[in-house]
Structure 1
Amino acid sequence: MTTENASSFEIYSKELTYRHRPHDEESEPSLKDITFGLPKGSRTLLIGANGAGKSTLLQILAGKRLLTREGTDVRIKGKDVFRQYPGGVTFLGTEWAMNPVVRGDIVVSDFLNSVGGYRHKERRDKLLDILDVDLDWHMHAISDGERRRVQLVMGLMGEWDVLLLDEVTVDLDVLVRDDLLTFLKKDSEDRGATILYATHIFDGLDAFPTHIAHMRLGSFVKPPTAWPFPGVKEVGARTRLYTVALDWLREDRTHRHELEKQGRKGRGAQNHNNVPSDSETFYKKYDYSH
């Protein structure tokens, strides 16, 4: 992939490296030399273990994190995401539901109107039906899953061109999630809209993506590749996509264990000989009253 063909992709990244502490060159980068391009109208699933860098990548594409490294080129719809951010891009992440503003005592109908719902009445009403949202709900008195549905109505009621989704279906029940993904697939096909979606839930997703990608420790093990892969079979009750994702995540864990043998900090139970095993000694050790 070259810079010259960047304009042929709806989402494009070249040599993207990102550190949460940009001036600490010794720190491990969260993303390392990420280069890829996604065509207009594609629907791509980002697959990887927790900490693989999926959320960081989506946040950078959404313009929420500043890049300082020379040579990095990140574009959506042909425009630099930091210098001339394009219109028509929607990012929906998990942090929204924790915002105290959206947990206040405001009626859902008033909330949606305050963010322009009245301008998108047809799509808004369709999404209200798909996501089974009650306009008379009070935002402070509903569950996290119901609040997530309101977020999705708010984010999707405008006609987006590029949709960046970070685990936002995790709170939805199976029926609502299936109806939403059916809507998103049709919307993408009808309007040529592009979707990049990070998820850990693969049930019922086989027919959704046009591409899938595998991230591990901040890099692409497999860049976005056309789906379905030839020769992949269903195993028992597991779909083809679920089978591929499970195999990739097992490989990730094996790879991490090998790195831990080479000195990388390990996870899980550790043998701390300095922690007492009997309760009386343990509580004496942590008695701070003296």
Structure 2
Amino acid sequence: MPGDSVDTISVSQLTYRHNPDTEPSLIDVDLLLPRGSRTIVVGANGAGKSTLLQILAGKRLVSTPGAHIFVKDRDVFRDSPPGVTFLGTEWAMNPVVRGDIVVSAFLDSVGGYRHKERRDKLLDILDVDLDWHMHNISDGERRRVQLCFGLMVDWDVLLLDEVTVDLDVLVRDDLLNFLKADSEARGATILCKLHATHIFDGLNNFPTHVAHMRLGTFVTQPAAWPVTSDSALVSQFAPGTTLYNVALQWLKEDRDNRQELEKNGRKARGARRDQV
């Protein structure tokens, strides 16, 4: 329940609509994540993963009666918790960070000099050139600057929305090793969304929990990872199954579920072969 100090993130009875006259993006979501956990949420596009992360970050207001959304024992909207960092994909598209400003000046302007040790460690991990001009670098390089900017201040809860998608394999691996070590050393909690199956390759040792969302609800609540003989996931997967194969199976199930709904009246995707 909300207020339980064991759980860093505690959500119950959460339903959310982007507009009053649209179908809900989240439906009666319950979620408990313990302190120090690292949870990966798997699900197809439109499952509600980004919306959930944005709500936990306080970026979308929830007016559903009875909904409880607590982070670090504090109501996200009425008593905003400190130490929560949200990193999303929209940052790289912001005109402010696409202007002609040198990376070193940009980091100084947001207080990087106050966090020199962590900043410098991240600059090395992310292989950032301090002389880059923000308007003249690739999306992947801009993403590295975002990660340095967002992670150089100590965080207690980290909400990641697809921000590793632009990184090359080596930088991504070094970053995830840093985040894992940081989480373990400080008991910090990570919740991240990934949906592209190639991203899961090589992630087996990162999460402590995995979960599956479909059409606004949890099909599989956060379950301890990896799969073992006494795991909650053993009814679905054999012990030792890789995260890549878990994600692949869940996404195939999502597609099959959507296609079954389409047979029963849901708007269909794909080609319209009955039309010229």
Same fold per superposition (TM over 0.5): yes
CA pair 224-234 structure 1, distance change in 2 beyond 3 A: closer
Question: Cα deviations across residues 28-76 of structure 1 (Å, max 9, x unaligned)?
Answer: 1000011011000000001001111100000000000011110000010
CA distance in 1, matches of 2:203, 2:137: 28
Q: 1:234 to 1:71 in 2, by over 3 A?
A: closer
2:264 to 249, 262, 265: 262
> How do residues 119-268 of structure 1 correspond to structure 2 at under 5 angstroms?
119-200=114-195, 201-230=199-228, 232=237, 240-268=242-270
Contact 1:31–1:217 under 8 Å retained in 2: yes
Classify the secondary structure of the residue corresponding to 1:10.
Answer: strand
Deviation at 1:233, TM superposition (A): 5.2
Contact 2:15 2:26 in 1 (8 A): yes
| TM-score where L is the length of structure 1 | 0.89
Corresponding residue of 2:9? 11
Output aligned runs, 1:15-164, within 5 Å.
Answer: 15-21=13-19, 23-24=20-21, 27-164=22-159
- Secondary structure at the aligned position of 2:62 is classed as coil
* 3-state SS of paired residue (1:6): coil
CA displacement at 1:270 relative to structure 2? 1.0
CA distance in 2 between partners of 1:122 and 1:46 (Å): 31
Q: Is the 8 Å Cα contact of residues 234 and 243 (structure 1) preserved in structure 2?
A: no
3-state SS of paired residue (2:27): strand
RMSD: 1.4
The CA deviation at 1:105 is 0.2
3-state SS, counterpart of residue 129 of structure 2: coil
Count of equivalent residues: 266
Distance in 2 (alpha carbons) for counterparts of 1:38 and 1:96:
26
Pairwise CA distance, 1:83? 0.9
Matching residue's letter, 2:222: P
| Contact 1:234–1:240 (CA under 8 A) maintained in structure 2 | no
What does the per-residue CA deviation read over 1:237-286, in whole Å, with 9 as the maximum and x for residues that have no partner? xx61111111111111111111001100010011353x3xxxxxxxxxxx
* Cα pair 2:9 2:34 within 8 Å, conserved: yes
Q: Percent identity?
A: 71
| Distance (whole Å) between structure 2 residues aligned to residue 86 and residue 116 of structure 1 | 21
Q: Which structure 2 residue ranges, 5 or more long, are not aligned?
A: 230-236
Judge conservation of contact 2:10–2:70 (CA < 8 Å) in 1: yes
In structure 2, the CA distance between the partners of 1:234 and 1:174, relative to structure 1 (3 Å rule), is farther
8 Å contact kept, 1:30–1:217: yes
**Matched residue type, 1:124:** R
Alignment partners' CA distance in 2, 1:234 and 1:85: 40
Query: Aligned letter for 1:20?
Result: H
Give the TM-score normalised by structure 2: 0.93
- Distance between the aligned counterparts of 2:55 and 2:274, measured in 1? 39
Residue 271 (structure 1) aligned with residue 267 (structure 2):
no
Unaligned 5+ runs, structure 1 = 276-290
Which amino acid letter does the alignment assign opposite residue 264 of structure 2? Q
Conserved? CA contact 1:120–1:157, under 8 Å: yes
Looking at structure 1, the residues matched to 238 and 117 of structure 2 have their Cα atoms a distance apart, in angstroms, of 40
